[in-house]
Each structure stands twice: as C-alpha cells, then as structure tokens.
Amino acid sequence: MSDSGQGPPREGSLDAPFRRPIEWRDGDYYDLAKVHDELQRQFDVCHTCRRCFNLCDSFPRLFDAIDESATGEVESIGTKEHDHVEQACTLCDMCFLTKCPYVPPHPFDIDIPHLILRYRAAKRRAGERAFVREELGKTDRNGKLAAPLAPIANWATARKNTPLRKLLEAIAQIDAEVELPKYYSKTATDRLRGPLAPNPDGPAFGQKKVALYATCFVDYNAPDTAVAATKVLAHQGCEVELVYPECCGMPELEAGNVGDVAARAERVAKAFGPYIERGFDVVALTASCGLMMKFEWPLMLPENAAVTALSRATRDVSEYVVELNRATGLAPGLQAVAGGVTIHHACHARAQNMGAKSAEMLRLIPDTAVELVERCSGHGGTFGVMKATYPTAVKVGRPAARQVAAKGSETLCSDCPLACKHLGQLLATEVTDGQAAPRQAHPIEILAQAYGLM
C-alpha cells in the first residue's frame, strides 16, 4: 500500500512490497516488553484477516489460541501463546511473500517472519537458549569433526541403528525417526581443489566466470552437488572456482543469533570481494544460502558496500543456468532423463521471488517430463529433526509428499537438500503398492546426468 500523499492508501498488495532493515544493533530490538507489544499488534491484524491459515502450523496455533480465549480477541492471549506460535515458525517467509496483503508499504507494516526473528533474538539476549539447536547450528565445526570419521558417524546416526538413535534422542532430543544427513570423508572443497578447464567449445567460453559458493551442506553432506555444478558450468565454457569461506549463518538466524550472522556476512562478503572485482558471478548451491546472501544480509548491513555488491552478484545455480541459456545458449548434448522429474519448489527458493528456476532449467532437457510441487516440505533446518518439532514437520510436509507421490516421477528434486531428504522419507508412506519411491537429487545433478557428466 502506498502512502505517497496522492489520496487515501489502497487496500492490499497493490504496490511492490519491501522489507525494513533489521535493527539488530538497536537496544530496543531486544526489549522483550516491546517485542510482545508488537506481537500483539501484528497478531491482531492476522486475526482479522486469516489468509495465512494453511501455510504452516504457526497461524492455526495463533487463531486457535485467540478463538479459545476469554474474549475471542488478541487482547486475551499473552506470552505463553506467543511462544507456542514462535515454536512452529521455520522462517520460511511464505506468509510475507505469498499471502499477506499488509506488508510494507502498507501502514499496517506486517512482517511476521522478521518479528519472530526479533522475538528469538530478544529471548536469546535474555538468556533463553536452545543448547542443542545452537550446537547443531555450528555446521562448520560439526562437518570438520565428522569428515575424518564419516563412516563411523554415518553408522552411529543411521535411522536403522535403533539403540544409538534412541540414546541420541534421549541425550540430544533429536527424533529417532528422522533420516539424518550423511557426512563424507572427502568434502566438496577436497574434491575441487583445482578448477576444471573450461570447455573451449562451450558457448560461454571467454565470457563467464563463476565463483561457486559451496555452502556448508554441500561441502560436508552433498559434495556431488558441487561436482555436478562445476562440471555443468565448465561444460558451458565458464571459468569456475569453488569458494567456501564459511557457513552463511542460516542455522544461527534460526536461533536468533543475529549478530553472529552479520559478522559472517561481513567475512564472506570480504572473501568474495576480489572475485566480484575480477568479474566473477557468485552462484549459490542451496536456496537458503542464496536467500541469505541476496536478501537477509543486506537488511542486516545496509551500509556495507561489500555485502551489497555480493547481494547483486549472487544467483541461485538453477537461476544462473537459465540466465546463461538466455545470454549465450547452452552447450548441445542434453539427453532425456527416463521416468521424469518432480521438482519441489522450496520455500527459500520461492522467497527469492525469482520463479521456479529449477523447473525452468530442467525443462531445457528434451523429452523429459518435469512436474512442479509448490507446497512447504515442513522441514525448516533443525525444526525438522528435533523431537519437539519433528511431528509438526511431518504434519506440514505430508500434503507435499502426497502431491509428489501423485506425480509418479522416478526422480525427486528440490532447491533445498533438507526438504528433499524430508519429503523422500515421507514418501515411503505415501507411494502406492507397486510404486517405488523416487530417487533424490539436486536439480543441477540431473542436468549433469542429462549431459552424461555424472
């Protein structure tokens, strides 16, 4: 809604929405009394609208609390209900992006995900911390510790290893039923220490240079994704270099540790600065990291020129391939992928407001059926593994899993590897008799397969 002085403000999202800077350096940002007041104000607007009732579990919890309260209004709920709503939020941004008609510039100024982030930051500043969630969020430390012991770590955390998983559940409250990511002895950084020679016959040869941001998950848990991306881009003639200074901080953002995330943003932007100055494009391999680099970091550090430059230079890997196709065309040689592919359009890819680029990219493969599912997987980082929240992750993700099962494709892809893993596990209960659960892969791995590169 516009407040331009050219008449009364208009209802709904008729003007381009925007987000306000995250004022994490302001003491008021952490004032719990002021945060609760703002929660009441924004929740009252949500109560009168309710368009977002089916996005996640946060809003049904809110509306049920209001409806069951003494007055049936927001005034009758309090901090206990605020906590209950906050605990179900995965910071997916879908309410802000796809449903809410009252986001800025509307004067109601609604931004529930960033308000939940502020609430977590304020509670954390007040001493309320989830120890296990914060320790799981230290992905670089955990990956470096696990890599040398990868076979043992994977055996110990395997879902079928019931005794150890029950022990882990009792100690760390990680649900014993969750399929946990595997670790690899050779990380993506290990596998790609030297750049691949660009294909001199590729259409982008001599024109494109790419600094590929490995991301923590790809580096430690899915190195094949980095290898596939490097091979595909080098095949197009791009000069490609894998760069991984450190984790983007999305797990720390989940925990409300905003200052840590801002510090990471400064360091990573500084590391990528020389590449950007030399004309490299920056390509992120997971949706959450791309979202952080493009949108969240500039809101935390709007005055930081390096962060702004990195934001402008960053593309999601599928987005980049689609842009490359438009700019130079792709190298010939793509072959059909048997059995078709279903793309799960992850929330953090949708939040980048770039369209379903993974589906668009895979539709460049000839004679290959590509289906699209746009519904939340329910995973949300540690939300999808902790015993307290895993049942909700299953509840939210099951409709998406049913949609994937109905497509009948032999391959399931997602812009988010954790969403893909979660849906893959849920599919075991959704496929019909005689139907095999689809294999799981990153979209760029499927493109590499279509080229015969993997």
In this predicted model, what pLDDT tens digit does every residue of 357-389 receive, in sequence order?
A: 999 999 999 999 999 999 999 888 888 899 999
- Distance of alpha carbon 420 from alpha carbon 401, whole angstroms: 10
pLDDT of residue 3: 42
User: Would you say how long the chain is, in residues?
Assistant: 454
Residue 106 tokens read as 């509307």
What pLDDT, in 10s, does the model give residues 395-442? 999 999 999 999 999 999 999 999 999 999 998 877 666 667 789 999
Q: Which residue has the tokens 């605020």?
A: 82
- Distance of alpha carbon 396 from alpha carbon 37, whole angstroms: 29
- Distance of alpha carbon 176 from alpha carbon 153, whole angstroms: 15
- Distance of alpha carbon 37 from alpha carbon 254, whole angstroms: 22
Q: Which amino acid is at 367?
A: D
- Distance of alpha carbon 60 from alpha carbon 256, whole angstroms: 23
pLDDT of residue 262: 97
Burial class of residue 151, CB neighbours in 10 A (0-12, 13-18, 19+): exposed
The model carries a pTM of 0.92
- Residue 14 pLDDT level (bands cut at 50, 70, 90): low
Cβ atoms of 210 and 241 closer than 8 Å: yes
Residues 6+ apart with CB under 8 A from 35: 115, 118, 119, 122
Question: Burial letters for 311-328: b for 16+ Cβ neighbours within 10 Å, e otherwise?
Answer: bebbbbbbbbbbebbeeb
Residue 85 tokens read as 């709503």
What pLDDT, in 10s, does the model give residues 117-154? 999 999 999 999 888 888 888 999 999 999 999 999 99
What pLDDT, in 10s, does the model give residues 36-66? 999 999 999 999 999 998 889 999 999 999 9
